[in-house]
Chains A and B, each alone.
Chain A
Amino acid sequence: MAVGAFADRGADLELVGIEKRFPGFTAIENLNLTIPAGSFFALLGPSGCGKTTTLRLVAGLEEPTSGHILIGGTDVTNQKSFQRPVNTVFQSYALFPHMTVLENVAFGLRRRKIGDPVAKAHQALHLVELDHLAHRKPQQLSGGQQQRVALARAIVNRPALLLLDEPLGALDLKLRRQMQLELKTIQEEVGLTFLHVTHDQEEAMTMADTIAVMNKGRIEQMGEPQQLYELPKTAFVANFLGQSNLFTGPVVSTTSTAIAVDVSGQKVVVPLERAHRVSGEVTIGVRPEKLTLHAVAPTHDAGRNVMGPGSVIDVSFSGVSTQYLVAVPGVGTLVVFAQNMAFGPAAHVGAEVWLSWNVDHGFGLDDDPADAPRFEADLDTKTIAQQRRSSLLTELEEA
Chain B
Amino acid sequence: MAFAAFSSTTPSSTTDPIVRRRSPVALFLLLPGILYLVLFFLTPLVSLLLTSFQAPREFGDIGQFDYAFRWQNYVEVVTTYWPHIVRSFSYALTATFFALLISYPLAYFIGVKARKWPLLQSLMLVLVIAPFFISFLLRTLAWKQLFSDESFVVQSLKALSLLGPEAHVTGTAFSVIFGLTYNFIPFMTLPLYTTLERLDVRYLEAGSDLYASPFHVFRKVTIPLSMPGIVAGTLLTFIPAAGDYINASRDFLGGTGTQMMGNVIEANFLVLQNFPAAAALSIILMTVILVIVSIYVKRSGTEELL
Contact = CB atoms under 8 A, between A and B. Distances in A.
A111 B210 contact: yes
Interface residues of B, number: 22
A241 interface: no
Contacts of A111: 210-212, 216
Most buried by A among B202, B211, B224: B211
Interface in B177-215: 200, 202-203, 205-214
B208 A82 contact: yes
B211 A112 contact: yes
Interface string A62-100: 000000000000000000111000111010101111100
Contacts of A87: 209-210
A107 B210 contact: yes
Nearest to A107: B210
B267 to A, nearest CB: 46
A82 B225 contact: no
B211 A157 contact: yes
Contacts of B220: 107
A84 to B, nearest CB: 8
B205 to A, nearest CB: 5
Contact of B209 (A81, A97, A112): A81
B236 interface: no
B299 to A, nearest CB: 15
A120 to B, nearest CB: 14
A310 B222 CA distance: 65
B58 interface: no
A98 B209 contact: no
B166 interface: no
A345 interface: no
Contact of B210 (A80, A98, A108): A108
A94 B205 contact: yes
From DSSP, what is the main secondary structure of chain A's interface residues? loop
Nearest to B211: A111
Interface in A151-175: 153, 157
A59 interface: yes
B119 to A, nearest CB: 16
B61 interface: no
B25 interface: no
Interface in A42-77: 59-61
A137 B304 contact: yes
B305 interface: yes
B305 A82 contact: no
Given A61-B205, A90-B202, A107-B207, A97 B225 contact: yes
Nearest to B216: A111
A392 interface: no
B212 A107 contact: yes
B221 interface: yes
Contacts of B210: 82, 87, 107-108, 111, 153, 157
Interface of A: 1, 59-61, 80-82, 86-88, 90, 92, 94-98, 107-108, 111-112, 137, 153, 157
12 contacts: A81-B208, A82-B214, A88-B206, A90-B205, A94-B202, A94-B206, A96-B225, A98-B304, A111-B210, A111-B216, A112-B211, A157-B210
Interface of B: 200, 202-203, 205-214, 216-217, 220-221, 224-225, 227, 304-305
Given A90-B205, A108-B210, A108-B211, 19 more contacts: A1-B211, A61-B208, A61-B209, A81-B205, A82-B211, A82-B217, A87-B209, A87-B210, A90-B209, A94-B200, A94-B202, A94-B203, A94-B205, A94-B206, A98-B224, A107-B212, A107-B220, A111-B210, A157-B210
